[in-house]
Amino acid sequence: MAETGSVRVKCPKCGSINIKQEQDKGKVLSYAGQTPIYKKHWKCRECGATWE
Ligand SMILES: [Zn+2]
């Protein structure tokens, strides 16, 4: 069975799926017109680990 559109990401430290994707406002990758596209990273709500 092929799942499309849903990527299951887990915390690499504690394995929690209680995570969120954050924008790193310090790193602008590019601009879409006037809107800056920020680099994104994941953050675990459980242990606070961040990763890309
Ligand atoms: Zn974690």
Band (5; pLDDT cuts 50, 70, 90): low
- What is the rounded distance in angstroms from the CA atom of residue 51 to the CA atom of residue 29? 17
pLDDT > 60? residue 51: yes
Q: What local confidence, expressed as pLDDT, does residue 15 receive?
A: 97
**Rounded distance from Cα 37 to ligand 1 centre (Å):** 26
The answer to whether 41 and 50 are in contact (CB under 8 A) is yes
Q: What's residue 1's pLDDT?
A: 58
- 1: tokens are 């069975």
From ligand 1's centre to the CA of 52, what distance in Å? 13
Q: What is the pLDDT of residues 16-49, one digit of tens each?
A: 999 999 998 999 999 999 999 999 999 999 999 9
Q: Rounded to two decimals, what is the model's pTM?
A: 0.68
Scan for tokens 């680099």, then name that residue: 39
Q: At 18, phi and psi to the nearest 5?
A: -85, 75
CA angle 7, 9, 12 (to 5 degrees): 155
Q: Where are the domains of the chain?
A: 19-51
